[in-house]
Amino acid sequence: MDRKSSEYDEKIEAVRDAASDAAQVSEARISRLRRKVDFFIVPTVSLLYLFCFIDRTNIGNARLAGFEKDLRLKGFDYNMVLSIFYISYILFEIPATIACKWMGPGWFLPASTLGFGIVSVATAFVKTRAQACALRFLLGIFEAGIMPGVAYDLSRWYCRAELAFRLGLYMTMAPLSGAFGGLLATGILKLSSFGSLHRWQMLFGIEGVVTIGISLIAFFTLTDRPQTARWLTEEEKDILLTRVKAERLATTTVLDKLDAPKLLRGISNPITLTTATIFMLNNITVLGISFFLPTIVKAIYPDKTTIQQQLLTVPPYVVGGFFVLLLPSLSWYLDHRQLIIASTGPTALIGYAIFLGTLNPSVRYGAIFLTASTAFTLGPMANAQVSANVNSDTARSIAIGTNVMFGNIGGLVATWTYLPWDAPRYAIGNGLNLACAASWTTIAILGYLWMKRDNRRRDERSAAAHEEIAGLGKKEQQDLEWRHPDWRWKP
């Protein structure tokens, strides 16, 4: 064994000693520290994500309030306005993720939020389809890094088993943004005006101003990582750092520098790619609900007033928010994700089957609750699963970004699932969502079986694999990531 390998082994042993030290800290003290981190970190990122989702999807509420009519949108024009957002979102997803790693989430997330808040206010003044498309393109650029950035930020603070629940806490904002957004839209539309703004213009103007205010506060309240947290003692920082480091194989530092081999390993990780595919299929469903639920409700209850239709969009989101907390809580308790991911598909599948099978208004409205109940939970579960199955900080950042990028490819598809001429049954949109739910369930089950099989294979050839890497230096071993012989998949 050469000198480099010896030094490397000593550092790895030091990490293992640190893990042992972390285990000796009482569970009661860890629980208190975890609650402290929850209090200081989760509320800020949750608010940022709430208004990220509201500013993205309030166009559905604006549509009911005359947006389409005032801009003289016809045919597929509305779908085009929705689609342009996802084109920029997809193009800038990976660059935004790298920028978040480079700048640090504490600066990147508030700056991005400020940007899309300004764009939201500007949308209140559009007069043509071209202007609306241009601003939606800009909105996609600024929002591209928010979801992966928040997930990446939280992965710096929490251990693998704890992360899914914390992701659930902030991603509850996705369904709740639909509920809150519907209530907020109802309240705003009762105003006669907001300055020179009227009707749908007030939605973008008021919600954009609130977003800008929250972003400015976040510049002062959001902390990058434990080492820079002024509200932690030095001992608390050490405990948090050691707990995260103890879970990372062959890693001697938690926040490594940007590194091309690790970026490639994060993107090419089999669980990153399969989970990202699941998230893509799921996002077709989730964003189909988010963008078109007001339209679906209007098709079910065409005789109700606009205000009544807006209010009817709220309860399904509340149910979705409940399950976004329930399933990640179960994941935290079991330290398991893959089969929970698989369990989200059947209820969505049944819901869309009901949509296709009947035009009875009450039954169809009930089916919305089935689809919303579990579909939203894959946001936290998918990001948690990707984070649990990569090793270094660099690989984790790009893996989460890849997962979210795939998800937004699904979002682009979702903008074309509910077409005007397909009302009121919407056979295309509902049929596609039914197929997506069946597909992501199947992929999740197959992924679980593959992880178990590959872990057994790694156990069987462990000795031979260690001989193959014996001559590699420290950096070469770190760059192996999931190809390291000691690596095991975490279902």
Which residues, including other chains, have CB under 8 Å from residue 176's CB and lie 6 or more apart? 50, 317, 318, 321
Among 82-86, 229-233, 474-478, name the one with the lowest average pLDDT: 474-478
Residues 281, 410: Cα–Cα separation, whole Å: 6
Residues 350, 465: Cα–Cα separation, whole Å: 46
Coil, helix or strand at residue 65: coil
Per the prediction, the chain carries an average pLDDT of: 82
Whether the per-residue pLDDT at 251 is higher than 70: the answer is no
For the chain, what is the domain count?
1
What are 441's two structure tokens?
A: 């369930």
Write b or e for each residue in 215-252: b if 16 or more Cβ atoms lie within 10 A of its Cβ, otherwise e: beebeeebbbbbeebeebeeebebbbbbbbbbebbbbb
Q: What is the predicted pLDDT for the residue at 404?
A: 86
Q: Which amino acid is at 94?
A: I
Q: What is the predicted pLDDT for the residue at 5?
A: 43
| Average pLDDT of span 416-444 | 88
Evaluate whether residue 5 is within a structural domain: no
In Å, what is the CA distance from 453 to each residue of 107, 458, 463, 490? 42, 9, 18, 12
- Domain of 277? 42-224+260-482
User: Residue 456: how many CB atoms within 10 A of its CB?
Assistant: 9
Evaluate whether residue 7 is within a structural domain: no
Residues 117, 103: Cα–Cα separation, whole Å: 20
Whether the per-residue pLDDT at 7 is higher than 60: the answer is no
What is the full DSSP assignment across 341-389?
HHTTHHHHHHHHHHHHH---HHHHHHHHHHHHHHHTTHHHHHHHHHHHT
Whether the per-residue pLDDT at 11 is higher than 50: the answer is no
Confidence of residue 249 (pLDDT cuts 50, 70, 90): low
pLDDT tens string 226-241 = 888 888 888 888 888 8
| Average pLDDT of span 312-327 | 85
Q: Scan for tokens 């790693």, then name that residue.
A: 101
Cis status of the peptide bond prior to 491, with omega within 30 of 0: no
| Average pLDDT of span 48-56 | 82
Closest among 490, 479, 264, 238 to 385, alpha carbons compared: 490
Q: What are the beta bridge partners of residue 197?
A: 194
| Average pLDDT of span 149-165 | 83
Whether the per-residue pLDDT at 12 is higher than 70: the answer is no
Cα dihedral: 95, 97, 102, 108 (round 10): 110
Q: What is the predicted pLDDT for the residue at 429?
A: 86
Q: Which helix (H) or strand (E) holds 95?
A: helix 77-103
Confidence of residue 1 (pLDDT cuts 50, 70, 90): very low
- For residue 260, count CB atoms less than 10 angstroms from its CB and return exposed for 0-12, middle for 13-18, buried for 19 or more: exposed
pLDDT tens string 105-115 = 889 999 999 99
Evaluate whether residue 174 is within a structural domain: yes
pLDDT tens string 263-315 = 787 888 999 999 999 999 998 988 777 667 777 788 788 888 877 887 888 88
Confidence of residue 4 (pLDDT cuts 50, 70, 90): very low
* Percent of the chain's residues with pLDDT above 70: 87
Q: Which helix (H) or strand (E) holds 330?
A: helix 314-334
Which residues, including other chains, have CB under 8 Å from residue 466's CB and lie 6 or more apart? 485
Residues 381, 49: Cα–Cα separation, whole Å: 16
Q: What are the beta bridge partners of residue 224?
A: none
Among 56-60, 288-292, 418-422, name the one with the lowest average pLDDT: 288-292
Q: What is the predicted pLDDT for the residue at 62?
A: 84
Whether the per-residue pLDDT at 3 is higher than 50: the answer is no
Cis status of the peptide bond prior to 105, with omega within 30 of 0: no
pTM: 0.76
Evaluate whether residue 10 is within a structural domain: no
Evaluate whether residue 34 is within a structural domain: no
Whether 62 contacts 222, CB under 8 Å: no
Q: What is the predicted pLDDT for the residue at 253?
A: 55
Strongest mean pLDDT among 59-68, 116-125, 353-362: 116-125
Whether 158 contacts 176, CB under 8 Å: no
Evaluate whether residue 218 is within a structural domain: yes
Residues 134, 87: Cα–Cα separation, whole Å: 12
Whether the per-residue pLDDT at 142 is higher than 90: the answer is yes
Whether the per-residue pLDDT at 125 is higher than 80: the answer is yes
Evaluate whether residue 413 is within a structural domain: yes
The CATH number of the domain holding residue 171 is: 1.20.1250.20
Residues 130, 470: Cα–Cα separation, whole Å: 60
Q: Which helix (H) or strand (E) holds 176?
A: helix 173-189
pLDDT tens string 21-45 = 544 567 788 888 889 988 888 888 8
What are 296's two structure tokens?
A: 């679906």
| Average pLDDT of span 83-108 | 88
Among 228-242, 363-377, 453-467, name the one with the lowest average pLDDT: 453-467
Q: Which amino acid is at 489?
A: W
Q: Scan for tokens 């000691």, then name that residue.
A: 486
Among 181-185, 234-238, 376-380, 422-426, name the one with the lowest average pLDDT: 181-185
- CA 61 from chain center: how many Å? 22
Evaluate whether residue 249 is within a structural domain: no
